[in-house]
Amino acid sequence: MNLLNILFEDEDYVVVDKPSGLLTMPGRGPAAREKNLLALLTQALKRPMFVVHRLDKDASGLILFAKTAQAHRYFSTLFETKGIKKKYLVAVEGQVAPRRGEIDKPIKPYGSGRMGVGFDGKDSLTCYEVLEEYDRATLLEVRLITGRRHQIRVHMYYIKHPVIGDRLYGDQARQAAYPRLMLHSYSLEFADPAGRKRTFKADPPKDFLNVLPFL
């Protein structure tokens, strides 16, 4: 499997399609020895790179890296001001109703790498729409308005529809039957540092599609 799939590159930034199972950046503890996308990209382009945002290790899809400190500041500000639109394909347990909705619940850390809904957390807003229903699951298009750690996974768990394959927030025994986390970042939209409107899309990989018939 090709771990480094660069979809676009210019003088300011790079857009990469990350596979499931690969860290975005170096981990801690035992994970410090694992391969990560930042190191692979730095080695391939032979220059320092800047992390703009992250994808969970077991998620896949589009991720943006800056090539300069100036571009990093620009994109970081864009994320803070909600100037980047991110859409995900997410398969969750059960039948989701209503077919379109918002989850507006603050999120905070709870230790041991877990996040959760808490009244004293940071404002977090997730929008979703049902794309397809299966026997035991639903495929959603999810749009993030804010970008908290594990936001989609926490919000879906909160409404009792955990993401398929999520062994951190879902039932571990049940989720262990699935080979991957069914969360894929498939669309990024933003205006680049030159003011040009950009839209990038990445179809879900085979390891995502192969799970759908079993839902």
Q: Render pLDDT for 16-32 as a digit per residue (tens, 0 to 9).
A: 999 999 999 887 777 66
Q: What is the CATH number of the domain that holds 79?
A: 3.30.2350.10
178 touches 165 (CB < 8 A): yes
53 touches 107 (CB < 8 A): no
Check residue 34 and give its pLDDT. 80
Check residue 3 and give its pLDDT. 85
Catalytic center residues: 56
For the entire predicted model, the pTM comes to: 0.94
| pLDDT class of 112 with cuts at 50, 70, 90 | confident
| pLDDT class of 87 with cuts at 50, 70, 90 | very high
Q: Is 75 helix (H, G, I), strand (E, B) or coil?
A: helix
Check residue 80 and give its pLDDT. 87
Is residue 165's pLDDT more than 80? yes
Check residue 111 and give its pLDDT. 81
Check residue 8 and give its pLDDT. 97
Question: Can you say whether the dihedral through the CA atoms of 155, 160, 166, 169 is positive or negative?
Answer: positive
Question: Quick check: bond before 19 cis, omega within 30?
Answer: no
Q: Is residue 215 in a domain?
A: no
Q: Is residue 140 in a domain?
A: yes
113: containing domain: 6-204
Note the residue count of the chain.
Answer: 215
Q: Is residue 63 in a domain?
A: yes
Of the CA atoms within 13 Å of residue 136, those in its CB half-sphere come to 10
Check residue 33 and give its pLDDT. 77
Q: Domain total for the chain?
A: 1
Q: Is residue 21 in a domain?
A: yes
Radius of gyration of the chain measured on its C-alpha atoms:
17
Check residue 113 and give its pLDDT. 84
Tokens of 178: 């699935």
